[in-house]
Amino acid sequence: MAAPRWRALGLWIRGNGQGLGSLLSPVSKPFCSAAAASTSVNAQRLAERLRAQKREQDTNKKPVSTNPVQRRVQEIVRFTRQLQRVHPNVLAKALTRGILHQDNNLVVVNKPYGLPVHGGPGVQLCISDVLPILAKMLHGHKAEPLYLCHRLDKETTGVMVLAWDKDMAHQVQELFRTRQVVKKYWAITVRVPMPSAGVVDIPIVEKEAQGQQQHHKMTLSPSYRMDNGKMVKVRHSRSAQVAVTRYQVLSSSLSSALVELQPITGIKHQLRVHLSFGLDCPILGDHKYSDWNRLAPQKLSMGTLKKLGLEQSKARYIPLHLHAQQLILPALGSRKEDLNLVCKLPHFFVRSLRRLGLEMPNQNQNENDEAECLGAQ
């Protein structure tokens, strides 16, 4: 019965336009009232949902600490969580404000804390995702995407080199691979390395750590071990990789130190492993390599916690204090001189130095000390 009614309706509309309003009005009113009722229900549900979310936020909201250090820790935690929800355009704009060097071949940026370089499981935003946007901000909408020349860990801050084209990126990557790039990192360590300067030359291998949670970590694979006071050569692991790190203490207190690290090789987590397992001085905020068997917040002494103004229960929020402070790229392309790239320390790193009583070294004095150290070797 419905089909004839629609046919009659079509004929009636074409034949008598004056009756259109009177014909549609009785049909439209039920639909309009139904739509209005549906809209009202949806709006009511949305309002209830928003009120529930607001109540949950108010319940979970923590009081703002009066301690400036704990307040800063809360800021870092909030910043790290928000970083993955930042729009790519906002992140690209932030990277433009941290440009250390720019020419026709390279763009060098200051990588922020907590931002991964590559994507992966659970990663919603990374540097490689915003390279096309960053290129357009710097060179206009027709610009080709920038290319990564090397990588830094998610928690590491500092100098990061990008290239305008793939060929230049490959050239820079070859410089890194052949160890022609001088890389210097600054780290705050728990305890003071002894001796105060030297070279850690111990291979590194990835192994499964046995504990409550099964997980994999990089660890040392030494060629020798002590057996009843004698040096005994151990069987070489085929998967072990040569790892060499030069280090020098720049400033120290009773329980911590500011250390300059120069990795000669580029093995995964090399600096963290050599400091923690080789020198027994883990990096402040390194919750992965402070203990081999456990994945747990770093254990700190009462003296260190007091200086930082923290309780052990809050130690999990301390960020990794590892900063890519300097890169020296050799002459490349049209550039005839070495390119010296230096990046200032992040604010949280500087605050920790002050709290722990560690002095910021004079750069010129640091270079002289390094020259003397190298000359004595």
CA-closest candidate to residue 149, choices 137, 134, 135, 167: 167
- DSSP letter at 217? E
User: How far apart are the C-alpha atoms of 218 and 105, rounded to whole Å?
Assistant: 35
Active-site choice (153, 165, 201, 369): 153
Cα distance between the two ends of the chain: 102
User: How far apart are the C-alpha atoms of 249 and 370, rounded to whole Å?
Assistant: 10
Secondary structure (3-state) at 183: strand
Rounded to 5°, the CA angle 307-310-312 comes to: 115
User: How far apart are the C-alpha atoms of 323 and 155, rounded to whole Å?
Assistant: 9
Backbone angles phi, psi at 263, to 5 degrees: -75, 125
Does the annotation mark 280 as catalytic? no
* Cβ 163 vs Cβ 228: under 8 Å: no
Beta strands in 277-360 (DSSP E): 322-329, 339-342
User: How far apart are the C-alpha atoms of 182 and 262, rounded to whole Å?
Assistant: 8
Helices (H), the chain: 2-15, 20-60, 68-83, 88-97, 127-139, 166-177, 270-273, 302-308, 347-355, 363-376
Q: Which residues are part of the catalytic machinery? A: 153
